[in-house]
Structure formats: C-alpha cells, structure tokens
Amino acid sequence: MFKEKEIKVENQSLVSVIIPTYNNGHVIARALDSLFSQIYENLEIIVVDDGSTDGTKDVVLKVAERFPKKKIIFEYQENSGVSAARNKGIDIARGEYICFLDSDDTLSNHSISKRVESLKRHPDIDIVFSDVFVRNKIDGYWLKNTDFLKAFRKNIERSDGEEYVLDGNFYKKFFDFSPYPICTQAIMMKRTCFDSGLRFALDLPSAQDVFLWFEILKGKRSVYINEALAIYYREDSTLTKGHETSLLCNIRMFEKLLAMSDCSEVFGVFKRNLSQFYFYLSYFYRSKKKMYDKALSYAVKSIILNPFRFLVWRNFLACIVLMTLNRKK
C-alpha cells in the first residue's frame, strides 16, 4: 500500500507518539510494528491502556521484547475514555513534537520523518498534517482527502512539491469539508501547542479530536502534505451501531463551539452544521428507530437553525405524518 522511502532527518528531536487503547490486543501489534519500522529513530512510544481486560498489556510487552532499544512507556488507567487516555499521554510526553496513533491503525515507514522534516523546514509553523488511506473489508483502500486542495485552494499561501502552507484562516472553513479534513493519525504538532492547557474534551466520546484540532488551528498557519502517511482502518462502510452516539457527539461538539465567544466569525458555519446533524439524527430516529416524537423534536431544531433548506421541511412533514399514523394504530 505504501511506497517505502528513505528520508533522513539529521539531529533528530524526540517525537512522542501517543497510542490510546482499549481491548485492542488483537491488533495493537500491527500499530506498534509500523512504529518500529519508522525511518525516524528518536521516538518515545506511549501506550495508554484505558482499562483493557483482553491481555493488551501482555501483547505490548511481548512486542517490546523484540525491540529492546526502543523507548516504550506503558501506562494503565481505569476505564475513563479515549480523551482521558490521550490526555494522560500528553502529560507524560517529553518530545519536542507530539503525534497520535490509534491502536488499530498504522503509519507508513516515513510518516514521522516526513512530518518532522516539514516542521523543521517551517520553524514558524506548529502544525503539520497529511492525507490518509481509509480501509475497510468491503471497499478496500481509498484516499480520504481527494478534494482537499480544491476545497481549500484560497487558503494556500504557497506550495513546494507535496507540501502546502495554509494560512491562518483555514480553520474558518474546517467544518465545511466533509469528512473533516484532519485524521488523528495524520497530525503532528509542537509540544508547545499544549502549553496553554488545551486537551481533548472529556465530555465528547467521539469528535473530541476534531474539536481539539479546531481549537489549536484557530488563527494559526499550518502545513498540509498531499500524501497518505497513515492507514485508518474502519470496520465496515455502512452505518454502525455507534451511529447514534456519533451523531449526538457531533451535535454536542457544535453546541460547545457555538458557546465559544471567540468564534463569532464562524458561527454561521457552526449553525449550518448543527442544523445538518439535527436533521441526520431526526432522520435516524424516524427511519431506524421509529421514535417519531424524538425525530420531530430534532426536526424542529434543524428548521430553527436553517429554515431555508427544503430537506429539513420535508423531514419535518414526514415526522408529523408518521407520528399521526402511528397514533391511529
């Protein structure tokens, strides 16, 4: 899948790679192997086990025995969620640069070296991210950000080969791109980005990474590498049983963003996206759960935020009709 490359970075700064994991003992060796095969050598690998009960620790220790010269920190915590696990990793990290890898995903062998090289080439920039391959058993592999350069062409200050320097207004269009343009596996930043206390939101079971990237990117320039440097593994290409949770988390995220006083310039984007997720959740309750009262309440919320969209009105009317027919039974 990846074309292996030799990219040597001189005077290697320490890079902390944070891996949160929960009952992923059957796949975490794959993630670790992709780190041990990195061209970049000065790594601090921090595995934060979020209360696993499947022997994940034994797998990590067994893999570590094969690479005795590599620095691996294993930290166990009671089950507290992925945000708490990543935050603990940030607190432990001592690297000049920090990146993340979920325990079921992998990196290309030059993923870290290429991102570090980019940050060193642009010392006034704190954040770099790349494209990723997405993979599932049904559809195989595909590139995630195929339309990125077209969507953000007005935010590109300059380019050099596969590197594109984005201006400080990139964050304003961040949520207009679907799916969200940054994957956790693909981003790297300077440790100083967390000095102000920014961390993953504990009240968001999902979308907490997107929320944090937006906060970090506000007003800052960044670099986009137009190459897939990671593989994000997905279970399937259909709606999962976690779909409701994902929708609720995205709604919670946009509600939090609307409450932030320093984001007034992009309130319109937040409202449009929040209306869209209200619409998705309404449709989900109407078509999948047959919960017409809930579907109607979210349909109304969607209309309030975006009253000029035909689809939200059609969904609203469908909810009323189905709720009326259901009560007559």
Three-state SS string across 122-152, please?
CCCCCEEEEEEEEEECCCEEEECCCCHHHHC
Range(s) within the chain of domains with CATH label 3.90.550.10: 15-233
Closest CA to 107 of 34, 157, 198, 49: 34
Residues 6+ apart with CB under 8 A from 101: 17, 18, 19, 31, 34, 35, 107, 184, 185, 230
For residue 234, the model assigns a pLDDT of 79
For residue 164, the model assigns a pLDDT of 98
For residue 239, the model assigns a pLDDT of 39
DSSP letter assigned to residue 288: I
Q: Is the pLDDT of residue 237 over 90?
A: no
Q: Between 310 and 325, where is the model more confident?
A: 310
Q: Is the pLDDT of residue 141 over 80?
A: no
Residue 197 burial class via C-beta count within 10 angstroms: exposed 0-12, middle 13-18, buried 19 and up:
exposed
DSSP-based three-state secondary structure for 115 = helix
d(CA 95, CA 15): 5
Q: Between 208 and 262, where is the model more confident?
A: 208
Range(s) within the chain of domains with CATH label 1.25.40: 243-328
For residue 33, the model assigns a pLDDT of 96
Q: Is the pLDDT of residue 162 over 70?
A: yes
User: What pTM was computed for the model?
Assistant: 0.91
Q: Is the pLDDT of residue 138 over 70?
A: no
Q: Is the pLDDT of residue 235 over 90?
A: no
Structure tokens at 96: 């000049």
Share of the chain above pLDDT 90, in %: 79
CATH architecture of 15-233: Alpha-Beta Complex (3.90)
User: How crowded is residue 241: how many other Cβ atoms within 10 Å of its Cβ?
Assistant: 6
Q: How confident is the model at residue 4 (pLDDT cuts 50, 70, 90)?
A: low
Extract long-range pairs of 62-71: CB within 8 Å, 24+ residues apart. 62/29, 63/28, 63/29, 63/32, 63/33, 63/36, 64/32, 66/36, 67/36, 70/36, 70/43, 70/45, 71/43, 71/44, 71/45
For residue 142, the model assigns a pLDDT of 75
Q: How confident is the model at residue 8 (pLDDT cuts 50, 70, 90)?
A: low
Q: Lowest mean pLDDT: which of 3-12, 49-58, 129-138, 157-166?
A: 3-12
Q: Is the pLDDT of residue 122 over 50?
A: yes
Mean pLDDT across 78-87: 97
Give me the chain's average pLDDT, please.
91
For residue 31, the model assigns a pLDDT of 97
Query: Hey, what CATH class is 243-328 in?
Result: mainly alpha
Q: Is the pLDDT of residue 51 over 60?
A: yes
